Amino acid sequence: MTSGLAGGPGGLAVGVGAAVATDELERLAGALRSASAHCGEVVLRIPPLRTGESAGRDADLWQVQGAARTSAERLAALARSLHDAATLYESAEAATARALEAVAAQLAAAAGLLLSRLGVLLLPALVTAAGRAAALWGLVPPEQRQALGAAIGDGPLPAVLSEPAALEALRFALSLADDAALGAAGVPPALVAAIGETGLGAVGLDSAALAVVGLAALAGASGVDPVRIDRVGADLRRGGESRPVAPPTSLADRAGRIPEPAAPIVIERYVLADGSPHVEVFIAGTDAQAELGGDRPWDMASNVAIIAGEPASSVQAVRAALDAEGVTSTTSIVFTGYSQGGAIATVLAESGDYRTTGLLTVGAPSGDLPVRGDYPAIVIEHREDLVPVLSGIRRESTAVIVRGDGLRADEQTEGMLPAHDLERYRRTASAADSHDSAALRAAIDALPRPTGAGERTAWTATRIPRTGAD
């Protein structure tokens, strides 16, 4: 379920997911409750009023006491009304969104059915056109083909894919892709809406991703093969490097500790004030240089496996590192991740295998991964970032959603996805630290605060492809 966004400094919008400013309503309700409590204190501070001949001298106090009591009651009633209004807004917004998505699912199924029929008619012409294009491409000298391919691969994506409105439309379209596929397969549109994400939930974006996982495995690019982990600095004489580290103090501090893909897992161990162990785990984003299904598990194959709900190699690696660090189901743990690392963090936080006490993700494709746990969860996204959009419409979530502008008009941008840059997300996390949203402040304040320095270790991971006999 989603709730409102509250604008604030730095172009940020904050809420527990969507468009109505319920956070502002809750903040105003809190202010009214405080005012009501203050009026109640005024009533209590007025001394007992006298009766009889001297009562006339206390008439003004009678009036003050009565007015204060009435004000306290009315302010409390207004606070309750605002809270109820915020709750109704959330429910109405969620119901409206699901109703619209159900209608859109039927339309997508009908479009898929129509296009599949047209595809049969147009297939001969398309095959002919593809053959001619391949022939023309073959006439281009090899060195020019290589240069053109490199230019396409290194250049930025079309500008439209950095437009927030276009990205939200794409997010919605991706969530309907499975409905269109069912329609193309001949499933009646009404049945598609009934069994899809807005109905029984039997099929969805994870189903499409699962199909991709299966096809990739057949092609030898599995994202779920087992992994081997190694502590950075480990050799035959040492068990690996570790160093002292101060506990994180802010969202920006946590985002600043997210590692690079070369050593994608960092684990910090602390002690809480009550003497119990606490762990902070930081997880890297997708390795842009990793070969699909190769020995570096932070690749696109793992990304797809995560969305499909399969045990991705990268998820296995983080689990293994936590086991190696002695983390148990009773250890307090905060997960922090960027991009693919954010999706991994969400999966593990919600797995039920750990005592999750906090979650922070930045730029993660985790919209289709529900967050229901009783712990502070904060999701930071850029409006111009394509990556969070790829997981489709955000489903049930209790996380505080922070959306900001990743790109500034006065700065140069490089790469295919400039708004997905980790440094820009660290900048947005810093702005979030100073935001005055009540929901965000409550989530930040609820994160564990270790006492004293801890110990930091880093881990590498290597995928071990299964042999044909496995």
Q: Among 463, 445, 458, 14, which residue's Cα sits nearest to residue 269? A: 458
Kindly report which listed range (20-29, 69-78, 130-139, 196-205) carries the lowest average pLDDT score.
196-205
Burial of 124 (0-12, 13-18, 19+ CB in 10 A): exposed
Q: Report yes or no: 374 and 352 within 8 Å, Cβ to Cβ.
A: no
Q: Which of 182-196, 308-322, 421-435 has the lowest mean pLDDT?
A: 182-196
pLDDT digits (tens, 9 = 90+) for 36-63: 777 777 667 666 655 555 555 566 666 6
CA torsion sign for 367, 371, 372, 375 is negative
Q: What pLDDT does residue 210 have?
A: 44
Using only the alpha carbons of the chain, give its radius of gyration: 27
* 18: confidence class by pLDDT, cuts 50, 70, 90: very low
Q: What is the pLDDT of residue 190?
A: 55
More reliable by pLDDT, 414 or 51: 414
Instruction: For the chain, count helices (H), then strands (E).
Output: 12, 11
Please give the residue that has the higher pLDDT: either 3 or 328.
Answer: 328
pTM as predicted: 0.68
Q: Residue 462: its pLDDT value, please? A: 95
Ranges of each domain in the chain: 99-137+158-217, 227-407+419-463
More confident residue, 87 or 116: 87
Other beta carbons within 10 angstroms of residue 166's beta carbon come to 16
Q: What percent of the chain has pLDDT over 90?
A: 33
pLDDT of residue 92: 54
Cα separation of 42 and 65, whole Å? 8
Whether 374 contacts 321, CB under 8 Å: no
Q: Across all residues in the chain, what is the average pLDDT?
A: 74
Any idea of the CA torsion for 411, 415, 421, 424, to the nearest 10 degrees? Answer: 0
- pLDDT for 396 equals 67
